[in-house]
Amino acid sequence: MPDYNTLAQTIEALTEGESDAVALMATVTCELHHSDDRFDWTGFYRVTEPEVLKIGPYQGGHGCLVIPFARGVCGACARTEKAQLVADVDAFPGHIACASSTRSELVLPVWNGQGQLIAVLDIDSDQPNAFTQEDADALQAILNRVFATV
């Protein structure tokens, strides 16, 4: 598990003064992806039109290009605006297998400074039950700070 305090400080230093959402997503993705061996795929899906997510900056293998709010773990996060902590993706109804190696997943909502959902952060692991509530809480706090300026 990464040292979330150090990770938050690093991300804050790298993103200070930036308000472009894509630039922020690219920087956050890079830092998160390389912070933990559990993170097999790390990236953002952006809200580009009502009920539609499209791929944004990511690290890892190819991701799905478009995900409707009605499908999958990312869609469930966007639809409910609540974190999705999935220990076994095969047990999640309607899971979209963008990569066959994915065993577990953590998806978090991303809001801008006006409280509008602008994206979801998707972290996939090739390990089952890879994520904890502590991961979700620490990463959500980082996202809330970074994207408050957008």
Range 4-149 classified under CATH 3.60.20.10: no
Cα gap 1→143, rounded to integer Å:
17
Q: What is the pTM of this model?
A: 0.95
* Cβ pair 68, 53 in contact under 8 A: yes
**Would you kindly state where each structural domain of the chain is located, as residue ranges?**
4-149
Question: What pLDDT is attached to residue 94?
Answer: 73
Q: How confident is the model at residue 97, as a pLDDT?
A: 72
Residue with the two structure tokens 């998806």: 107
Rounded mean pLDDT, 7-30: 97
- Residues 50-71 as b/e (b if ≥16 CB within 10 A, e otherwise) read eebbebbbbbbeebbeebebeb
pLDDT tens digits for range 83-139: 999 999 888 877 777 777 789 999 999 999 999 999 999 999 999 999 999 999 999
Confidence of residue 7 (pLDDT cuts 50, 70, 90): very high
Going by DSSP bridges, is the β-strand pair 66-68/52-59 parallel, antiparallel, or unpaired?
antiparallel
- Confidence band, pLDDT 50/70/90 cuts, at residue 16: very high
Provide the pLDDT for residue 46: 98
Span 26-84, pLDDT tens digits: 999 999 999 999 999 999 999 999 999 999 999 999 889 999 999 999 999 999 999 99
